[in-house]
Amino acid sequence: MRPIAAAFFFLSTLCAAKFLVVAGNGQAQGVSQGSNTAAAAGEVNMKLLEQACQHSPRKDLCIETLEKDPNSKGADLTGLAFVAIRLAAAMASDVDEHMRSLLIHNATTLDPTIQQGLADCIEHYSDANEQLDDCVEAISTHNLEEVELWVNVAISDADLCDSSLGGEKSVIKAKNEAFRLLCNNILSIVKVLPAHK
């Protein structure tokens, strides 16, 4: 057997053995630890979602958003924080893409002030995405203060985008609000994460 094939066989056997041990423990402990039963079965733990979203300004939307994401199945609080960061980053990318499309497709018809506002918003959302990338690293090292800092900076970027548009009512303002709500979901989860792991 080649070394790579042998290594792959060993790792796949090890993973299968770990799965059997974890699954066996889940069944053995299912009666005494009901909250872990859902996680072991790959279901969303609603009690954990309630806990994660308890500090969100829109608790119902926080729960709904996290529950719909397949990565929430079996996730602990830290896993839910990663899901929330990914969802906020996806929204930031969507807003950025929408603004770039508006600029490209309407370059000759947009008022120069609106063009500048959109260009500023693109820059702000580029910064917001960088802040959310920093959040992933901060969560990985369990640096919750930095997570809060970077999420608040990302929220400020959305606020600056609103200001750049000069009070214009638009789809972008609605997307900015959705982005802020997703960022607040991250902050809600961070508030219930234990201080030290």
Residue pLDDT, tens place only, 67-112 = 999 999 989 999 999 999 999 999 999 999 999 998 888 878 888 8
Question: Across all residues in the chain, what is the average pLDDT?
Answer: 79
Which residues have C-beta within 8 Å of that of residue 38, sequence separation ≥ 6?
44, 45, 46, 74
Measure the CA–CA gap between 173 and 40, rounded to whole angstroms: 40
HSE, side-chain direction, 13 A CA sphere, residue 85: 25
* Extended strands (E) in the chain: none
Per cent of the chain over pLDDT 70 is 76
Task: Go through the domains of the chain in sequence order and give each one's CATH number.
Answer: 46-69+76-191 (1.20.140.40)
Looking at residue 13, its pLDDT comes to 33
Compute how many other C-beta atoms are within 10 angstroms of the C-beta atom of residue 91. Answer: 22
Measure the CA–CA gap between 182 and 58, rounded to whole angstroms: 10
Compute how many other C-beta atoms are within 10 angstroms of the C-beta atom of residue 61. Answer: 16
Residue pLDDT, tens place only, 144-183 = 999 999 999 999 999 999 888 876 667 788 899 999 999 9
